[in-house]
Amino acid sequence: MQILITGAAGFIGADLSQRLLSHGHEIIGVDNFNDYYDVALKQARVEQINKHKNASKFSMNELNIENRAQMSSLFERYKFDVVVNLAAQAGVRYSIENPQSYIDSNLVGFGNILEGCRQSKVAHLVYASSSSVYGANENFPFSESDRVDNPVSLYAATKKANELMAHSYAHLYNIRCTGLRFFTVYGPWGRPDMAPFRFASRMLKGEEIPVYNNGNMIRDFTYIDDITQGVVKIVESPQASNSYKVYNIGRGEQVQLMEFIEYMSQHLGVPAKINMMPMQDGDVPRTMANTDDLQRDFGYQPSVSVNQGVERFARWYKEFYRL
């Protein structure tokens, strides 16, 4: 298939690109290489893709999904079988400081993706939602049938809006739309703004780690390989058009944040200095995915334990930064 992946220089996008190349697909990548975090890391991910044995089937386009003219031209140039939209302004905490960037990328940009799919008659749109849509949901684990109309951050609100926008396009224009609520993805080549990266950086410098809600945090840490293997199953699955579905995609296991920090300390070989902090605005105390629907429909089965995943991340981090 010919597959568009937006955010292809991102953490999930780069890994997914390589997996789909291994299956023989042609990948058209899009990224704007913004400076929300280190651009050199994004470029290094693309270098990894370009080393793939099927790299001749990969091309990267530097553009903004919120630019309507650029996106219209892209959809006119290619005939995509599947579109995977991973481009977004990410981060719950950053959305409190820079709300406009979320409106531009996550709402205007996603609207341009939907319009491209409509105009080009793309059969299947797979797009990134987020576990943050559950907000302060009191049901546990989080299930797709739970209400998600109380977001506690603008980032979460934009992701819920994406689900509603996709629903209307699936219904009106006969586009199959599959939304994926990602749960705390981590691993090699990860995002520097996320906890594993920040923990490793501070630990290895001997600095204190700020731990919010006084350490009383639970997360469903999900290793990158398990995530992208699940996305590949969805991308390659034949199903009827005009279908709309949203799935949780996580490990389905609750992990105490302090336990995660202990694993990180163990595998980096350095102590963790903890600075207990109150809860941050826009954050939630616990997340955990019910993945029964994804397992039933696509045979999704995560296999990498948190201890294994942290060990692999720590090894990569020290090698990448030559520590």
Q: Point out which residues pair with 249 in neighbouring strands.
A: 182
Q: Does the active-site annotation cover 155? A: yes
Which amino acid, 191? Answer: R
| Residue 111, helix vs strand vs coil | helix
| Residue 138, helix vs strand vs coil | coil
Per the listing, tokens 């090894």 go with: 315
Considering the candidates 155, 169, 223, 263, report the single residue annotated as catalytic. 155
The 10 Å Cβ neighbour count of residue 218 is 19
Phi, psi dihedral angles at 62 (to 5 degrees): -90, 110
Q: What is the dihedral sign for C-alpha 168, 174, 175, 178?
A: positive
- Strand (E) or helix (H) holding 244: strand 244-249
| Residue 172, helix vs strand vs coil | helix
Task: Return the structure tokens found at 155.
Answer: 């980032």
End-to-end C-alpha distance for the chain, whole angstroms: 40
141: preceding bond cis by omega (within 30 degrees): yes
Active-site residue list = 155
